[in-house]
């Protein structure tokens, strides 16, 4: 797991798998951990639908009401960043990466208690492990 820049609040993960397998593994990992997938948006297909070209790109919107609701009760504006999202992109060279906001960024952005970081940070490890581990 690497941070794109410390100040951006965005994590960048390199995947050891193809684009399609990466998307499938993330869906499976979320399901295995009781994390709900609210939407999967094929952004490449949406671009093609309007006559544009882009590499394979998918956004998965996911979360756990048990983890996110307390943040939204503490500050309703946190709902702008919840549910969480992970963006999977395949570069022209066939490399696959995933991007998501850090838990720390969401907590700081909404002036929430640092204790709430424990509600969100486990998913960072889950995504990192899913994209690098041979088995789920």
Which domain CATH number covers 121? 3.30.310.70
**Does 1 reside within a domain?**
no
pLDDT at 134: 75
Q: Which domain holds residue 105?
A: 6-132
Closest Cα partner for 25 from 94, 96, 118?
96
Following CA atoms 21, 23, 24, 29 in sequence, which dihedral angle do they give, to the nearest 10 degrees? Answer: 120
The pLDDT tens digits for 28-78 are: 999 999 999 999 999 999 999 999 999 999 999 999 999 999 999 999 999
Q: Check residue 88 and give left, alpha or beta (phi > 0: left; psi -120 to 50: alpha).
A: beta
Number of structural domains (the chain) is 1
Tell me, yes or no, whether 46 lies in a domain. Answer: yes
Chain segment 84-107, per-residue pLDDT in tens: 999 999 987 889 999 999 999 999
E strand or H helix at 72: helix 65-74
């Amino acid at each position: 797991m690497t941070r794109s820049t410390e100040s951006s609040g965005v994590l960048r993960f390199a995947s050891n798998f193809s684009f399609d397998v990466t998307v499938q593994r993330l869906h499976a990992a979320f399901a295995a951990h009781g994390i709900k997938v609210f939407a999967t948006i094929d952004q490449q297909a949406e671009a093609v639908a309007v006559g544009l070209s882009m590499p394979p790109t998918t956004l998965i919107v996911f979360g756990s009401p048990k983890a996110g609701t307390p943040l939204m009760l503490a500050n309703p504006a946190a709902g702008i960043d919840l549910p969480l999202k992970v963006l999977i992109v395949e570069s022209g060279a066939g490399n696959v990466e995933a991007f998501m906001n850090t838990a720390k960024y969401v907590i700081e952005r909404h002036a929430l208690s640092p204790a709430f970081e424990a509600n969100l940070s486990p998913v960072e490890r889950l995504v990192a492990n899913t994209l690098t581990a041979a088995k789920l």
